Structure 1
Amino acid sequence: MRVSVPRWLIVLLAAVFSGYHLVLAAVSLDRFDDPWPVVACMVVYVVVTVMVLWPSGRARMPVWLAAFALAVSVVMPLLVTSQLDPSQKNGYATWYVAAIGTLMVIVATRRRQGFAWLGVGFMAVHGVTWGGLGAVADLGVVGSVSWVAFAHAMTATLTRAGRETREFILAEHEAADWQAAQEAHVNERQYRLLQTSRTARPMLQEIVAQGGDLTPEQRQECLHLEGAIRDEIRGRRLLDDDVRREVMAARRRGAVVSLLDEGGIDDLDARELRRIHQALAEALHGSSADRIIIRTASGGGDDAVTVVGLGSADLSSSALGRGVAAEADEDDDGDEVQLWLQIPRSVPERAAP
């Protein structure tokens, strides 16, 4: 079970912490000889906080926004401390230290750790320069640096965990796809073996019973069965029981039938396949062509299957039409198209009257 924290709750907590620093700044305005620089810092801090917390599509903060937050973290200590005496206890008047720490934690959380470290680093150096080394602990610089370090570590850990999770999910999907492909391969092989056994077993039993001494008709039937087995491999989804029966009938009357399924109908549902099989069976049943080619249309398009039936040209009738048979072109010696059928991928439903 996956447990997640709503993003709005995290933003709300960050906003509450940032607002708390502004409250401390407001109650300590009487400690400053000139409060207007502090008020300006408060306004700028509100603006930059709203900008860094504003929801966006990217988790990683833009560089310009991180640079702006860094600039604010540099300006605020300079302006606020210009109105304070480092030799006195300033209390909440040093609110800027925690405020900058909170701002840099947000920057680090949004994957700009370098800018965050520069911000707290400048604040620490400025604190030592302004109040001495002993003032670092009193100002709360150590706490701000610690929070940025914690945010950096947590962000790096969560980023690594997210990356590993994505890798695990991808590996799981690949394993599931591999398993599905293997199962489909096994099922397909078992189905083809069953279909081949059903087609060839009667003839094999006949061959065994006769000791291999077959009549010419039986030998011809073996050739037809060989073609049927080849159809199971090359024809795939072009076949159903009706199509198999009509293909075998066409071969037995002397036609050469070729089926080739190139995957053009793999995405069709059972209803559309039944329609295509029915159209194929009807076309084969009514055809007298000597050579029939059935092929799926690859690469998409409106047509799913193309059926071409070729037959020998009637040279005598062609010669009568020209008057002299000797003047017939070489094309008359070729095959003529006796069957041409394109079965569409789908048929629009008719509107009810």
Structure 2
Amino acid sequence: MITVPRWLLLALGALFSIYHVVLGVYSLNIPRSPLPTIVALVLYSVATAASLWPAKRMRMPDWLAAFDLAVSIVMPLLVTSQLDPDAPNGYATWYVAAVGTLMTIAAARRQLVAAWTGVIVLAVQTVIWAGPIALGTLGVIGSMVWVAIAHMLTTALTTAARETRRYAQAEREAAAWQAAQDAHLFEGRMRLAQTNRIAAPMLRRIADVGGTLTEAQRRECRMLEAAIRDEIRGRMLLTDAVRTEVQRARERGITVTLLDEGGIDDLDEPSRDRVLSRLAEAVARSNADRIIARTAAEGSPVAVTVVGLREPLDGAAPAQNTDDLEVEFWMEIPRSEVSRA
């Protein structure tokens, strides 16, 4: 795409504006009194300089648009007050093109209401002063065409910029989605390799004996199944120390459940190691029948919640759900040492 430097556009606008000033100065001998024309030239020069002055924002400030509009209304009144509408005024009607240029600049800087108001007022003033035919002979229609072109270009560029931002946002979202999918794929492959490493030896032994297992082997299979479940559901809760203590707890007959719901993904490695060391200690000390370790929600001062549950001691049948169990201990491991204090 071909782009035009901004300084070049500003320079072209300044040259057009200076050209109108030169015409106004050159034709100062035509008005009955040059003083109103000089005032109009000064106002036009100030308004144009302020409008073309480099700014960070493309949109013209409202106060500047109001000033430009006021200049575009006052300038024709000042100049035509000293001109004869029936005489050939020549370059003395420079104000028509000047108003068109000033309003075109306003339209290019996204002040469309002010721009159209300026040229419409110019057209009305011209009709009142010199009649409808003067709209063509003095160039008022041409000034309105300039504003219309600037309006269309500004609208097209605004739409293009909005679509560009939309496409950029869609591209970022697509890249984020692709990264998430790649991460899920990588994690799935890693979990599959970990599962294969844990289960493959036992599966080969089962195949060797034709599926006939002793009670000890069945118990070992259940332990392996629980370990594989930990790798899938425990994720960031697992370290070598946690794996070892969970294995020992299961050998003592304790049912251990590890649930990682993403609450500690944002912890740095030292903080995570500290949290999981305390989790391993809690599992090692517990004599509960069931232990459930779950990560807390993101933003919570707690990193991991650990609860130990015990079966009723009154000789009743084993509880079917956790609501019927007694709480042996409840532990909340904070995210940081400050929270712990």
Q: How does 1:64-213 map to 2 (within 5 A)?
A: 66=65, 69-127=68-126, 130-131=129-130, 136=135, 139-213=138-212
Contact 2:85 2:129 (8 Å CA) reproduced: yes
Contact 1:312 1:336 (8 Å CA) reproduced: no
Partner Cα distance (2:294, 2:3) in 1: 53
Partner Cα distance (2:211, 2:101) in 1: 92
Contact 2:291 2:307 (8 Å CA) reproduced: yes
Look up the match of 2:282.
Answer: 283
Look up the match of 2:333.
Answer: 343
1:219-258 Cα offsets, whole Å, 9 max, x none, are: 2222222222222232121113332222122111111111
Contact 1:101 1:145 (8 Å CA) reproduced: yes
What is the deviation of 1:115? 3.9
Q: How does 1:235-274 map to 2 (within 5 A)?
A: 235-274=234-273
1:54-81 Cα offsets, whole Å, 9 max, x none, are: 6777644566764554443233223211
Partner Cα distance (1:227, 1:258) in 2: 9
Mind listing any 5+ residue stretches in structure 2 that lack a counterpart?
315-323
Partner Cα distance (1:300, 1:65) in 2: 47
- Over the matched positions of the two proteins, sequence identity in percent amounts to 57
Partner Cα distance (2:169, 2:144) in 1: 37
1:184-223 Cα offsets, whole Å, 9 max, x none, are: 2212222222222222222222222222221112222222
Q: How does 1:27-66 map to 2 (within 5 A)?
A: 27-46=26-45, 48-49=47-48, 52-53=51-52, 59-61=58-60, 66=65
Amino acid at match of 2:140: V
Partner Cα distance (2:116, 2:73) in 1: 12
Look up the match of 2:214.
Answer: 215
Mind listing any 5+ residue stretches in structure 1 that lack a counterpart?
316-332, 349-353
What is the deviation of 1:129? 5.2
What is the deviation of 1:298? 0.9
TM-score by length of 2: 0.80
1:304-336 Cα offsets, whole Å, 9 max, x none, are: 112233457999xxxxxxxxxxxxxxxxx9745
Partner Cα distance (1:2, 1:220) in 2: 73
Q: How does 1:300-311 map to 2 (within 5 A)?
A: 300-310=299-309
3-state SS of 1:29 partner: coil
Partner Cα distance (1:54, 1:297) in 2: 56
Partner Cα distance (2:252, 2:90) in 1: 107
3-state SS of 1:200 partner: helix
1:276-328 Cα offsets, whole Å, 9 max, x none, are: 3333334333444432221111142322112233457999xxxxxxxxxxxxx
Partner Cα distance (1:5, 1:301) in 2: 51
3-state SS of 2:216 partner: helix
Partner Cα distance (2:144, 2:2) in 1: 32
3-state SS of 1:31 partner: coil
Q: How many residues align?
A: 329
Partner Cα distance (1:278, 1:314) in 2: 31
